[in-house]
Amino acid sequence: EPEVTQTPSHQVTQMGQEVILRCVPISNHLYFYWYRQILGQKVEFLVSFYNNEISEKSEIFDDQFSVERPDGSNFTLKIRSTKLEDSAMYFCASIGQYNQPQHFGDGTRLSIL
């Protein structure tokens, strides 16, 4: 069964540094999402992306965050200047058609020191 893949599985970064999290959505999917999950808490929506532009974003997704689909397969989340509170699991998800469930990757654990 096709999967959403995310790399790296664990990223450790110094506070203030830039970090890029990478996702390869399922190949024929068109809608892409980033979510985060702080340890022990619920999954929170960050941003959705379709047709090379942001569709929706949450209050969490401030000017320090950006997303990009640099080629036909990758979907990236960049945090420009990381803060301690950015430490979380970051999940990428995608869907192919209307009214389909979002399929999630296994996430990247981001640890800010």
Partner 1 sequence: GESVGLHLPTLSVQEGDNSIINCAYSNSASDYFIWYKQESGKGPQFIIDIRSNMDKRQGQRVTVLLNKTVKHLSLQIAATQPGDSAVYFCAERVGGSQGNLIFGKGTKLSVKP
Site residues (vs partner 1, CB under 8 A): 4, 6, 31, 33, 35, 39-45, 48, 50, 55-56, 58, 91, 95, 98-99, 101-107
Are the C-beta atoms of 25 and 4 separated by less than 8 Å? yes
Cβ neighbors of 80 (< 8 A, separation 6 or more) are: 18, 63, 64, 65, 66
Residues in the chain: 113
Nearer to partner 1, 19 or 47 (CB): 47
Residue 41 Cβ, how far from partner 1 at the closest point, in Å?
6
Minimal distance, residue 16 CB to partner 1, in Å:
26
- The candidate with the shortest Cα–Cα distance to 110, out of 7, 24, 10, is 10
Nearest to partner 1 of 30, 64 (CB atom):
30
Kindly tell me which of 21 and 107 has the beta carbon lying closer to partner 1.
107
